[in-house]
Structure 1
Amino acid sequence: MEGIIVKGIAGFYYVKTVQGVLECKARGVFRKNNITPMVGDRVSVVSTPEGNVVDEIHERTSELVRPFVANVSQAYVVFALRNPDINFELLNKFIISLEKNGIEPVLVFNKSDLATENEKIQLKELFKGTGYQIHFITAKDGTGLEELLKGLKDQITVLCGPSGAGKSTLLNKLAGSEKMETGIISEKVKRGKHTTRHSELIAVDDALLVDTPGFSTMEMTMEAKELKDYFPEFHAYEGHCRFQGCNHDKEPGCRVKDEVGKSISVERYNYYVKYYNELLEENKRKW
């Protein structure tokens, strides 16, 4: 039988299947091979005289370390338009980290009632050419949530963003407060509601939403030359620069630089150059 791990606690894994949520242990071979089952893993379960066992972990499409979740397909990157104001450096770091992990960023700007229409237009302009979905919402009163709910369908979605952005309020609105109080495994295990420090998947119709105790900072390690891969607005111009392997910084004849202020926003490009040079320095220090 196949299913998805929706929670792991104290060596037990709770797997959502067509027969409901099954409490399972993992095969000993996983531990021997230093493989840890993750929330979000698609698995095969077999029944034994000792109980249900996770027999196989299927190939993962993505892995996050904090939170410890596999197969997340998209992230709602939640930032408030006011109180606190947007930290654009942090926003870009979230986006780059998600791109690096193969997870689609969906930009969600909360407290939209506190911002002007002009500010919203400027934000759309900032991310032109990226192809990212951009949503303006007010989580407190539910404004703009219909499209976010539609976007959850057939996905495993995680929420991320800084403290104070309204992630918890949004999670409650999307999942429904009843589900949030107890979680998907509450009927199976009474201790479910007392384990909020663990990541858990919540079923929302045909979707799974990661209820995580905190996803508000990003740590990244990468080679400077990788960075351009995580700016989707650059992709159309890759291979058209004068020099092969152009890093779109100081090289002459760069097509990406030609597009800055046109199809690529000045602010995003300036952030790219700043972060690229920071990574160069970090990479040098390593060696």
Structure 2
Amino acid sequence: MMSNSVKNLKTGSPSGRIVKALSGYYYVLPDGADPHGATVQCRARGVFKKKGINPLVGDEVLYSLTENGEGTVEEILPRSSELIRPPVSNVDLAILVFSVTEPTLNLQLLDKFLVHIEHAGIEPLLCLSKRDLEAEGDETEEARKATEDVRRIYGAIGYEVYGTSSRRGEGVEALHERLRGHIAVFAGQSGVGKSSLLNAIVPGLALETNEISNRLGRGKHTTRHVELIEVGGAYVADTPGFSQLDFTELGIEDLGYCFKEMRELAPSCKFRACTHVHEPGCAVLAAVEDGGVAESRHRHYVQFLTEMKEKKRRY
């Protein structure tokens, strides 16, 4: 959750949150300030570089003001989470946006996103977008089945599933309420309606669909950077790194932990280092057999495991 104002009682240093990083500068929004107000342009103390620490967008920091009105980041407060791509900290909610049609819902890709979010220790939330197309009958039978599968498979595991239509406003207010007080990342395939959804959540944002990307440094003629955008009581970070999910930051032994239903069953497996693929007395395989674990989830787990082993052999 977004924290309240923090003060260093010993130094009296002001505190704030880094909301943008660009060209060696960190833009700190002072605690208690208007989210759309002025930020303090700061440099980081040299000691951070010596210790191999990089301030990140999302960091809560203590800073000091210099004579020219700029500032210096003096201390980085403990982080609740940290993502490498994109480099952002203290994210506590990940909204995985998948369209019910155009492009057709891909459960393997959804599971890949979930693995990365679970590994980062961030709470995932599933959002099925473009529900207006579904309602207008433009949805294929394949997409309709995939929608039902998401609600049946992922709802049963305990994931929250929201359905939205940016065009009709369906489900938008409920999602906005869920976002309040959080620092969130929106992730998903290109073209699923992430930017349209943000516009629907905060009409005052008034950004064109591709303008959000440009503002966040992803346009053709802008410098790529990470920035937090305030969206009515929440912050949203851009997620360019999630377009390349290659498991490089994940160990083979971590994969089973990132499938939450397998994580819960693993202590009941006969062997402590069970891979849930072929071992006798495997609680996960037994659950797949009796329908307690979705066959598609286990199939994707095995595919990811094979992919990781092949990469490990190559390198």
TM-score bracket relative to the smaller structure? 0.7 to 0.9
CA deviation vs aligned residue, 1:150-182 (integer Å, no higher than 9, x gap): 111221101111111111111222243437589
Give the corresponding residue for 2:151: 124
Aligned counterpart in structure 1 of residue 298 of structure 2, from 269, 277, 282: 269
Distance 1:34 1:118, change over 3 A: closer
Distance 1:68 1:228, change over 3 A: same
Give the corresponding residue for 2:28: 15
Distance 1:213 1:257, change over 3 A: closer
User: Structure 1: which amino acid aligns with 2:276?
Assistant: H
Aligned counterpart in structure 1 of residue 127 of structure 2, from 108, 122, 125: 108
Q: TM-score, normalised by structure 1?
A: 0.86
CA deviation vs aligned residue, 1:94-141 (integer Å, no higher than 9, x gap): 111111111222111111232477653322122254311111111222
Aligned mates of 2:236, 2:129 — CA distance in 1: 18
Give the corresponding residue for 1:33: 51
CA RMSD of aligned residues (A): 2.5
1:76 Cα offset (Å): 0.7
1:77 maps to 2:96: yes
1:143 maps to 2:209: no
CA deviation vs aligned residue, 1:211-247 (integer Å, no higher than 9, x gap): 4567433231233222100000113212111112211
Give the corresponding residue for 1:67: 86
Aligned mates of 1:205, 1:252 — CA distance in 2: 52
CA contact (8 A) 1:223 1:283 kept: no
1:44 Cα offset (Å): 0.7
Aligned counterpart in structure 2 of residue 133 of structure 1, from 157, 160, 184: 160
CA contact (8 A) 1:129 1:263 kept: no
Aligned mates of 2:205, 2:304 — CA distance in 1: 42
1:240 maps to 2:258: no
Structure 1 unaligned regions, length at least 5? 187-193
Aligned counterpart in structure 1 of residue 254 of structure 2, from 226, 242, 246: 226
1:45 maps to 2:72: no
Aligned mates of 1:225, 1:266 — CA distance in 2: 21
User: Structure 2: which amino acid aligns with 1:281?
Assistant: E
User: Structure 1: which amino acid aligns with 2:311?
Assistant: E
Q: TM-score, normalised by structure 2?
A: 0.79
CA contact (8 A) 2:85 2:240 kept: no
CA deviation vs aligned residue, 1:36-65 (integer Å, no higher than 9, x gap): 221111111122334321111112222223
User: Structure 2: which amino acid aligns with 1:112?
Assistant: R
User: Structure 2: which amino acid aligns with 1:147?
Assistant: A
CA contact (8 A) 1:62 1:103 kept: yes
Give the corresponding residue for 2:4: none
Structure 2 unaligned regions, length at least 5? 1-13, 216-220
CA contact (8 A) 1:161 1:217 kept: no
Aligned mates of 1:90, 1:76 — CA distance in 2: 14
CA contact (8 A) 1:79 1:165 kept: yes
1:169 maps to 2:169: no
CA deviation vs aligned residue, 1:226-285 (integer Å, no higher than 9, x gap): 210000011321211111221111001111111115221111111112222232333333
Q: Secondary structure of 1:78's match?
A: strand
Give the corresponding residue for 1:189: none
Q: Secondary structure of 2:268's match?
A: coil
Aligned mates of 2:156, 2:261 — CA distance in 1: 5
CA contact (8 A) 1:5 1:40 kept: yes
CA contact (8 A) 1:78 1:159 kept: yes
CA contact (8 A) 1:112 1:138 kept: yes
